[in-house]
Structure 1
Amino acid sequence: MTFIDLFAGAGGLSEGFIQAGYTPIAHVEIDSAACKTLKTRSCYYYLRENHRYDVYLDYLSGKITRDELYNHLPESEHAKIINSAISTENNEQIFSQINNSLNGREVDLIIGGPPCQAYSVVGRSRSADGMQNDARNYMYLEYVKYLNYYRPKMFVFENVLGLQSAQNGKYLTDMQQKFRKSGYEIEVFRLNARAFGVLQNRVRLIIVGCHIDVGANIPDLKQINFMTDKKFLVADLFTDLPALQNGEGSFKRCNYAKNTINEYLVASGIRSQEDVLTQHVTRPHNDQDLEIYRIAITKWLSGQQRLDYADLPKHLKTHKNETAFTDRFKVVGADLNASHTMVAHISKDGHYYIHPDLKQNRSISIREAARIQSFPDNYYFEGYKSNLGSRTAAFRQIGNAVPPLMAKQIAAKMKEML
């Protein structure tokens, strides 16, 4: 079954559908670094299927450049990555590019979700007008145009919970009306990624639509409980990774601390025997932040206590407002069955994602963040410049992504219906 991914980002939603057996026709994304990530992922699948996985490993090891890696990808696969803004001005060109990749096939699904900043509660609180005049409020209208043009059998629309309350629900209500007018029966789900096997409490809105001509039932996504009966902990994400101090690590291939793979990493698909470790790299921190991290970790290890910013010694406080965002420094609890939500703000600093090991005393690495989001270790996040890793670009892509493991369970459930 074929699908188009709109507002694709780094491809977390796509990855889940591909793992479930769907075939991507096109990924449309405005950010060029994310498009490079999508292209690198296309190389992974193409080379693995054509028994040239060694070429991909050579890239991860730094033996060949990104351009040399991309030279192995056929032009038909390059064409599937469309680096363009979805807009009235660009849609006809995007339609044309997608149609060339279709080769007469139908589009079975459209997946994706517009940028969420305009709907998020935090985004609205930081905006002078509450994001009321932000053009991203209406990007769902572009999504509807693609539904009308391709008339897929089903669609999946993902966004933040704030969509329910933005403008007192006006946008969500209008979306539902537009989707139904386009011929789709729809259902809105409020889902936690933890129920899908992801070791993270990440609650999102998922709207599933099924075209009335198809006659299939919309699957009840609330009934999915994947691996929730297991006693997995966040620590299972970190146990085989080498210890690092702040500012250490490597973007390219490095060694795991353990050759053995624990049950969670196998069951989730995060790590396999053929995988290599990359992007286990941390950001540097100043002495003041390191002192705060030590306090936060010590409190957590003393009975899972969270650090309140107002309780910090005076010499460690840099913000005058001590009542807003009192938990701006937060430890990822290794002894919990789920981490707190991963968000794109991790690209700005790591204060909200402090590693739980006091000896390491740092924020989490790129690879640790990717694992919390359930990305496989063989997934490589690109920056803007050729052959240069970018912590900022990688963290932003990871924070914005749909967890692939969650997407895979949704995709499998929809496949049953189709």
Structure 2
Amino acid sequence: MNGNVAVKEVSDGYEGDDLYHLKPLKKTQVNPVFSELCSELGVNYKQQGAWVDEFGKSLREWAEKNFNNPVKTLSLFSGAGGLDIGFHDAGFDIVERVEIDSRFCDTLVENSKPDEYLSKASVVCGDIRDYIPSAVGEIDFIIGGPPCQSFSAAGRRAAGVQGTQDERGSLFEEYVRILQTLQPCGFLFENVYGITGAEKGEAWKRIVNAFSGAGYTIEHRLLNSADFGMPQHRERMFIVGVREDVEYRFPVPTHGPDSPENLPYNSAGSALYGVMNTVKPKQGLGGRFSHLLDEIPPGLNYSFFTDKMGHPNPLFAWRSKFSDFLYKADPDVPARTLKAQGGQYTGPFHWGNRPFTADELKRLQTFPDDYKIIGTRAVAYHQIGNSVPPQVARMLAVSIMEQVFGNKTPIPMPTLPPSKELGFRKRKRLLTKRYSAKAAKAIESIKDDLVKMSILDERGYSAYLGKDLSWIECNDGASFDVTADCRSTGWSITVSDYKSKKNAKLESSVDVFPIEGNEWPIESKKITLYSYSSDVRSYSALWKAFEKELRDRNIKADLVQLCGYYQYKPSFVCRLHVSDENDNIFMNRLKPLSKILNGDGVAEIMHESIMEKKLSVMGDNLIDLAEWLKLLGYEVRNHNTNPQIEEEYYLIPYAFPTLSPLSVQRKKSLKNTK
């Protein structure tokens, strides 16, 4: 079984303009490793559907017949069991799993019952910090990946990555504690790529030094799951630690341009072939952006509706949303990374313009069809998206079984030299060109239907402004009356108390000026918002009414899209004017509010002393001002709302109110509630 295998010609280099269409530069002779491995196992990896399930089953059967001494393995931070499945299939004996989330434990327990996938593994549901490792007995290997939120892209976008300063980011210390107690032959540690950049690299140094200090030689690699047969691009950092007398190298990719055979990626459409959905697929998304999903070409996201992609009605600003916002998977290529959690518009979505079912997500994450995920739809999504893909775990486990424990595998697995750089991140940077071409083709086919909505130049309505910052047009129980006069010569939006007297006086106004040189989608460059109400909430109502006109006229989805993401230069500035006779609306906070509208103290993380100076406030008045701004609808962040922000620092991303009922920041407290 480990004899000579046939060789064939494959490319030794590639050229092309994107990730999926590459041309060979030259030919070289290589061993067709993965195809031979599948042949030995009796698996047809070219078939559509869940061939990875058959691969895992056949690999497990082969291991049971050929490995006499089980490798006793402890699983930490087990989640739904993705790593456990892969290592179990490769012949590792998972003896115990430790997980804190009781919902995830329900899944682990269910699949540990007799005749289920991991029937021999016990489950410890509790905090890793309370776990006593000596009770598990002798352990040969440890696997696990601590929570990654403190190193994630969401953390970076929130205000930089806090890393090991976050309580979750320090859980690697518990991993090290258990290693030092049990002294296994080795371990595998998984986390997000952002772990290397946390705290300017200092967190990564501490993690590597801690593992080395526990007596292990470290080999680490950033891997893309699609390179190992997954129908999904998912970049994760893996660390394998071994004793000093053992050398370990990561396996070469089995699929894609970096694989010896240049096998095509496993596409999302192929992976879902024949899936039996146990729950009927949910049709549509609901909400005000749901209709946009129908127009987005497979493989693209909200950026389809941006100037950058050439859309004639660019509702969104470039890079103003996460890349998974309204992302629709392409059936012909691997999907982008599944997310453990997200909002209503967090993709990937099915190319049939609907959310994926849990059964479909299991296929995309390479969970076996017969592996049971327990919980509601949201809980199931969380568990699947949070897991290490079993197929990636299988290939890593096979390489570890061979190199660390000296067990012969069906086919010797070639390894990556430390100096060998994989090309998936470079190829990723080439995708914009492909996306732009796809967007242009889609726009060309529908451009005759892309017109601005026909809205009266002048209209009036009444609306209710809720405590949750909802803005609902209604006739009964309204808060304000609104008149919007939106002509090419100038926009004038007026807010007054509901059914107020006609002789109400002007209390305040805001002028909005486009910054010269920026794209400005509104015909008029003169926009004024007028308040004829002494109610402080009328200030919020002005911006809600302005945003409604942008949305209803199909100009922009919201104010942030008009302004642009806060880390870029804004497209407009504002000026506040208040009546000289006004003595009750903005008296104490007029000056700081005016400064904020002018852009002072905005879009930059700054120490409270600097912000106090910029906004002309003193001492404890800053936190009071911040709380008041939140009531008006401003997003304000500090250490208590976003742990990535250092203590005594603040961030006001935008010069205008942006919070809505769905905003996560709306419910967070700026004050320490402990």
> Cα distance, 1:223 vs. partner?
5.3
Alignment match, 1:175: 207
Give the letter for the 2:401 counterpart: K
> Cα distance, 1:117 vs. partner?
0.4
Alignment match, 1:219: 249
| Counterparts of residues 6-405 of structure 1 (less than 5 Å) | 6-43=76-113, 46-47=114-115, 80-87=122-129, 90-92=130-132, 95=133, 98-99=135-136, 102=137, 106-126=138-158, 130=162, 133-212=165-244, 215-222=245-252, 225=255, 229-230=263-264, 232-241=266-275, 256=276, 278-279=278-279, 281-282=281-282, 285-286=285-286, 288-296=288-296, 299-300=297-298, 306-308=301-303, 310-311=305-306, 323-325=319-321, 327=323, 328-336=325-333, 338-346=334-342, 348-357=343-352, 361-383=353-375, 390-405=376-391
CA offset digits 1:20-74 (Å, max 9, x no partner) = 111111111110111111111112xx31599xxxxxxxxxxxxxxxxxxxxxx7x
Give the letter for the 1:382 counterpart: I
Indicate how the Cα distance of structure 1 residues 82 and 42 shifts in structure 2: closer, same or farther if over 3 A, else same: same
Indicate how the Cα distance of structure 1 residues 326 and 371 shifts in structure 2: closer, same or farther if over 3 A, else same: same
CA offset digits 1:185-204 (Å, max 9, x no partner) = 11111111111111111111
> Cα distance, 1:341 vs. partner?
1.0
Partner of 1:139: helix, strand, or coil? helix
> Cα distance, 1:130 vs. partner?
4.5
Partner of 1:288: helix, strand, or coil? coil
> Cα distance, 1:168 vs. partner?
1.1
Partner of 1:190: helix, strand, or coil? strand
Deviation larger for 127-136 or 141-150: 127-136
Q: Which has the higher strand share?
A: 2
Aligned counterparts of 1:200 and 1:157: Cα–Cα separation in 2: 21
Aligned counterparts of 1:282 and 1:382: Cα–Cα separation in 2: 18
Q: Percent identity?
A: 28
Aligned counterparts of 1:196 and 1:156: Cα–Cα separation in 2: 17
Find the partner of 1:415 among 387, 401, 424: 401
Indicate how the Cα distance of structure 1 residues 404 and 280 shifts in structure 2: closer, same or farther if over 3 A, else same: farther
Aligned counterparts of 1:295 and 1:18: Cα–Cα separation in 2: 43
Give the letter for the 1:288 counterpart: R
Q: Which has the higher helix share?
A: 1
CA contact (8 A) 1:234 1:335 kept: yes
> Cα distance, 1:239 vs. partner?
2.8
> Cα distance, 1:289 vs. partner?
4.0
> Cα distance, 1:154 vs. partner?
0.9
Indicate how the Cα distance of structure 1 residues 290 and 133 shifts in structure 2: closer, same or farther if over 3 A, else same: same
CA contact (8 A) 1:199 1:234 kept: yes
Alignment match, 1:67: none
> Cα distance, 1:91 vs. partner?
2.9
Aligned counterparts of 2:283 and 2:158: Cα–Cα separation in 1: 26
Partner of 2:95: helix, strand, or coil? strand
Aligned counterparts of 1:28 and 1:124: Cα–Cα separation in 2: 28
Partner of 1:344: helix, strand, or coil? coil
CA offset digits 1:330-369 (Å, max 9, x no partner) = 1111012x111112134x4354212112xxx312111111
> Cα distance, 1:221 vs. partner?
2.9
CA contact (8 A) 2:232 2:365 kept: yes
Give the letter for the 1:217 counterpart: E
Alignment match, 1:387: none
CA RMSD in angstroms, aligned pairs only: 2.9
Partner of 2:354: helix, strand, or coil? coil
CA offset digits 1:234-266 (Å, max 9, x no partner) = 21122324xxxxxxxxxxxxxx4xxxxxxxxxx
CA contact (8 A) 1:278 1:380 kept: no
CA contact (8 A) 1:332 1:356 kept: yes
Aligned counterparts of 1:410 and 1:373: Cα–Cα separation in 2: 16
* TM-score normalized with structure 1 length: 0.71
Q: Is the radius of gyration larger for structure 1 or structure 2? A: 2
CA contact (8 A) 1:113 1:157 kept: yes
CA contact (8 A) 1:29 1:85 kept: yes
CA contact (8 A) 2:222 2:237 kept: yes
5+ unaligned residues in a row in structure 2: which ranges? 1-70, 406-674
Partner of 2:151: helix, strand, or coil? coil
Indicate how the Cα distance of structure 1 residues 24 and 323 shifts in structure 2: closer, same or farther if over 3 A, else same: closer
Indicate how the Cα distance of structure 1 residues 282 and 127 shifts in structure 2: closer, same or farther if over 3 A, else same: farther
* TM-score normalized with structure 2 length: 0.45
Give the letter for the 1:20 counterpart: A
Aligned counterparts of 1:49 and 1:373: Cα–Cα separation in 2: 17
Indicate how the Cα distance of structure 1 residues 235 and 310 shifts in structure 2: closer, same or farther if over 3 A, else same: closer
> Cα distance, 1:291 vs. partner?
1.0
Partner of 1:9: helix, strand, or coil? coil
Higher relative contact order (CA 8 A, sep 6+): 1
